[in-house]
């Protein structure tokens, strides 16, 4: 588990550094009045940028930023290969990848950051740990369900929401799509997808607790 955590956090650090240099490229272009929508993270974008004619020393700075982006991209790709291999070798992540929308990276991140699922007595505890639990406000006889608590890892929440989005809108998972559609009909779509991510996390808890693949209730095989 420590190895998995080191891998996903190491990748995150590299991605954040690459984004930092991409932003520096955008800032440099803006300072020189270059308004083209160029993507320095793409091979084509970097090729275009290397052909730009800008004064010294900014041309040297631009080349340095692009070199760093390329180097970081190569290292990220290497780590992703290791992460994919690691995810494929673990029973827990194999179970998680049986959920539509859950990639090998999402599976290994959840496994690494949530830890041993047996330390949670109930699904509500892991939901609270990740910060997807709604905050309940009580006043007199009224009980109002507010926004989520957002405690714990923001990265885990983001990954779960993205996985829920993919499951509903790309994979068309019957169980999660039905749940999402019911909520979206009376709430805004963002609240509905967050609640769907919470539903997915509850499924994850029971899957890992029982050692079973994704098999939602009420859905024919």
Q: Choose among 152, 165, 43: nearest CA to 103.
A: 165
Q: Choose among 100, 78, 98: nearest CA to 88.
A: 98
Residues 76 and 144 placed together within one structural domain of the fold: no
Residues 63 and 124 placed together within one structural domain of the fold: no
pLDDT tens across 188-200, in order? 999 999 999 999 9
Q: What is the pLDDT of residue 143?
A: 66
**Cβ-Cβ contacts under 8 Å for 184 (sequence gap 6 or more):** 192
Residues 95 and 83 placed together within one structural domain of the fold: no
Residues 78 and 97 placed together within one structural domain of the fold: no
How many domains, in total, are found in the chain?
A: 2
Residues 73 and 103 placed together within one structural domain of the fold: no
pLDDT surpassing 80 at residue 6: yes
Extract the tokens encoding 3: 């190895």
Final residue belonging to a domain, choices 89, 115, 143: 89
Residues 84 and 99 placed together within one structural domain of the fold: no
In a domain, 219, yes or no: no
Domain hosting 16: range is: 2-89
In a domain, 26, yes or no: yes
Phi-psi region for residue 90, left (φ > 0), alpha (ψ -120 to 50) or beta?
beta
In a domain, 217, yes or no: no
In a domain, 183, yes or no: yes
Distance CA 32, CA 132 (A): 44
For the chain, how many residues are written?
A: 221
Residues 96 and 192 placed together within one structural domain of the fold: yes
Residues 74 and 115 placed together within one structural domain of the fold: no
Distance CA 204, CA 183 (A): 20
pLDDT tens across 162-207, in order? 999 999 999 999 999 999 999 999 989 999 999 999 999 999 999 9
Residue 142 in 3-state DSSP?
Answer: strand
Distance CA 109, CA 114 (A): 8
Residues pairing with 131 in the sheet? none
In a domain, 186, yes or no: yes
Is the peptide bond prior to 151 cis by the omega test (within 30 degrees of 0)? Answer: no
Residues 101 and 85 placed together within one structural domain of the fold: no
Residues 198 and 97 placed together within one structural domain of the fold: yes
Final residue belonging to a domain, choices 36, 57, 89: 89
């Amino acid at each position: 588990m420590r190895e998995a955590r080191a891998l996903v956090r190491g990748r995150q650090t590299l991605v954040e550094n690459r984004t930092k240099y991409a932003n520096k490229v955008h800032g440099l272009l803006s300072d020189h009045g270059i308004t083209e929508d160029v993507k320095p993270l793409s091979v084509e974008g970097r090729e275009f940028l290397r052909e730009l004619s800008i004064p010294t020393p900014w041309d040297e700075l631009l080349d340095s930023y692009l070199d760093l982006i390329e180097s970081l991209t190569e290292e990220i790709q290497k780590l992703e290969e290791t992460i994919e291999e690691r995810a494929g070798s673990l029973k827990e992540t194999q179970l998680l990848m049986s959920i539509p929308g859950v990639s090998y990276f999402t599976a290994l991140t959840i496994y690494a950051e949530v830890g041993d699922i047996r330390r949670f007595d109930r699904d509500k505890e892991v939901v609270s740990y990740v910060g997807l639990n709604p905050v309940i406000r009580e006043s007199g006889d009224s009980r109002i369900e507010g926004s989520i608590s957002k405690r714990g890892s923001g990265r885990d929440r983001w990954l779960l929401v993205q996985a829920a989005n993919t499951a509903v809108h790309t994979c068309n998972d019957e169980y999660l799509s039905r749940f999402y559609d019911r909520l979206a009909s009376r709430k805004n779509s963002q609240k509905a997808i967050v609640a769907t991510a919470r539903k997915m996390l509850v499924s994850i808890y029971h899957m890992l607790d029982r050692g079973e693949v994704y098999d939602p209730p009420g859905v024919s095989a």
